[in-house]
């Protein structure tokens, strides 16, 4: 089945130790998004790629970076995780960026920072 | 910025009951999304609506663009329907991809 896959599902890292989260898709969608979702809060968009074009949200900390080496894969790098970065990280894809373009979400990676 | 209000915030039902979750928004839109999130889990897109009504299995979603209101109905509810249901609307202008999410409705269906 075509889908959005995130690895790992659970990630534990130490304060300040870089960590990379992975997302892949078999939908061949143009757009890939990364969201951060803290407990009982709505997802917060960090950035998205339209094809190879990177679009950062204005309030995304510099600590968060992303790479999209090809259509299928997108990575979220957290350079120096702080305790406040513990959250669920959700990857999503969509065919385009129109209002009616459905975003297909992955299962998420839950990040714990010790 | 679009304000998205959902009601109720929490809903407890007995298995088999008919469920309605409401969503209202402040700024006119061309599409609205209903999402489902199980506790600790990822998000599943249930519906994208631009007008009228859509049905998928026991789920029905309706939208009234003029009244800026949408409803999600679940017929013959089941414990596996227990989840958070989220309404989301796209931003206007050039940032249609950016969704404003409602706070979600936590549904618990008891056997």
Summarised one tens digit per residue, pLDDT across range A17-70 is 999 999 999 999 999 999 999 988 899 999 999 999 999 999 999 999 999 999
Rounded CA-CA distance A105/A103 in Å is 6
Chain A residue with minimum CA distance to B98: A45
For residues A29 and A51, the answer to whether their CB atoms sit within 8 Å is: no
**Which member of A100, A101, A105 has the closest CB to residue B43?**
A105
> For B10-50, how does the pLDDT look when each residue is reduced to its tens digit (9 = 90+)?
999 999 999 999 999 988 888 899 999 998 888 999 999 99
Chain B residues 68-97 with a CB less than 8 Å from chain A: 86, 90, 96-97
**Which member of A31, A94, A105 has the closest CB to residue B42?**
A105
pLDDT level of residue B103 (50, 70, 90 thresholds):
very high
pLDDT at res. A2: 61
Average pLDDT, chain B: 93
Rounded CA-CA distance B49/B32 in Å is 5
Cβ contacts of A100 on chain B, cutoff 8 Å: 30-31, 48, 50
């Amino acid at each position: 089945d075509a889908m959005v896959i995130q690895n790992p599902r659970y990630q534990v890292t130490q304060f300040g130790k870089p960590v990379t989260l992975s997302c892949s898709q078999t939908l061949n969608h143009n757009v890939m998004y990364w969201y951060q979702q803290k407990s009982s809060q709505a997802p917060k968009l960090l950035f998205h790629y339209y094809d190879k074009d990177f679009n950062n949200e204005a309030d995304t900390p510099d600590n968060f970076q992303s790479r999209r080496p090809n259509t299928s894969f997108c990575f979220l790098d957290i350079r120096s995780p702080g305790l406040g970065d513990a959250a669920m990280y959700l990857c999503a894809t969509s065919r385009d960026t129109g209002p009616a373009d459905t975003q297909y979400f992955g299962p998420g990676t839950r990040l714990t920072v010790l | 910025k679009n304000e998205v209000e959902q009601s109720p915030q929490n809903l407890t039902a007995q298995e088999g009951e008919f469920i309605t979750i409401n969503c209202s928004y402040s700024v006119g839109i061309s599409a609205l999304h209903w999402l489902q999130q199980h506790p600790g889990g990822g998000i599943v897109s249930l519906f994208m609506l631009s007008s009228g009504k859509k049905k998928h299995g026991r789920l029905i979603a309706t939208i009234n663009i003029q009244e800026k209101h949408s409803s999600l109905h679940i017929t013959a509810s089941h414990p596996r329907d227990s989840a958070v249901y989220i309404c989301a609307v796209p931003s206007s202008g050039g940032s249609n991809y950016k969704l404003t999410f409602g706070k979600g409705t936590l549904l618990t269906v008891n056997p």
